[in-house]
Chains A and B, each alone.
Chain A
Amino acid sequence: EPEVTQTPSHQVTQMGQEVILRCVPISNHLYFYWYRQILGQKVEFLVSFYNNEISEKSEIFDDQFSVERPDGSNFTLKIRSTKLEDSAMYFCASSDEVAGNYEQYFGPGTRLTVT
């Protein structure tokens, strides 16, 4: 069964460093998303992406964040200058939303630890 994959599974970085989290969405999906989940808290939407541009973003997704689809398979989230409060699980998701299929399929996540 097709699935969303994410790399790395765990990333440790120092405050102020740039990180890139990578995702490979399900191949026939058209919509891509990033969410984060701080330990013990709810899953929070960051950004959605369609047709090579951002479709929607939350207040969390400020100028420190950017997303890119550098090729036909990868979808990346970049955090330019990490802060301690960026420590969280980051989930990539994809959906096709063709004929109203709004369910989203999540990857296993990348645990980001900022020290």
Chain B
Amino acid sequence: AQSVTQLDSQVPVFEEAPVELRCNYSSSVSVYLFWYVQYPNQGLQLLLKYLSGSTLVKGINGFEAEFNKSQTSFHLRKPSVHISDTAEYFCAVKLTGRRALTFGSGTRLQVQP
């Protein structure tokens, strides 16, 4: 079975500070990895994805994530956050050959002025 753990339910940070949102997964087979963002009262929007190749993935809005196979992690980072980054962030995995995504419980990023 696969599972996704987002270690922090909430991350408060000041504007222009760096941030890291942590994600670990458990799977004995190859996976695809995703980060989605959900702004208030909206659906999910894809930030970035890792399918194969370079382990450092760059996404939209200045976010990036690094796939670490040995640590089974896919942490999301941004060097300088803005107020507008305040949202819920979800990490998700998909087994190769399986259709559905398995999501973590989410991390609420709260950017303060």
Bound together: no
